Amino acid sequence: PSAQTLELFGDKARSKQLAQQLDIPTAAGLADPSEDLALILQAVEGLAMPCIVKAVAGGGGKGMRVIRSLEQAPEAIAGAIREGRSSFGDGRVIVERYLSGPRHVEVQILGDGRGGVIHLYDRECSLQRRHQKVIEEAPVSSIPDEMRHLLWSHAVALGKASSYLGLGTV
């Protein structure tokens, strides 16, 4: 992928904003990244509990904290900012509604860098330990075909919108 594509998809807030522009559903919350504790606390107060704070540059579960009550929020937010700074050089975070027991389903895409993108089907990655995949199974055996086709079309739309070049995962 190009440097611009890596920057786009390496930033949770920017990639989420692109998905929203394409009418792809995303989790509700504070989409504009910030390091301002007061602003982030204000966003958390407007969300139903639990919610999750995520470092925008994070990966592998680093810079993520689940907030189950408003009393925990200041410490959790400060911890995510600190870990984002130390692990990725970027302390900005977003806040989202926390999905307990979600499915982690991925779609492989292949793009030519000029807007031509195809999907290479789906894989189940829900079996995780500390936000890291333990087992990947392809194809996903337990989703309806309508959902599968929707996931494929969303992945291809993101690839096309970013002029994706190479093989990647959505």
160 part of the active site: no
Would you call the peptide bond into 50 cis, given omega within 30 degrees of 0 as the criterion? yes
Active-site pick, 16, 54, 133, 160: 133
- Collect all residues with Cβ–Cβ distance below 8 Å to 80 and sequence separation of at least 6: 53, 54, 55, 63, 64, 65, 93
> In the 8-state DSSP scheme, what is residue 84?
H
CA distances from 141 to 10, 136, 137 (A): 29, 12, 8
Catalytically active residues are: 133
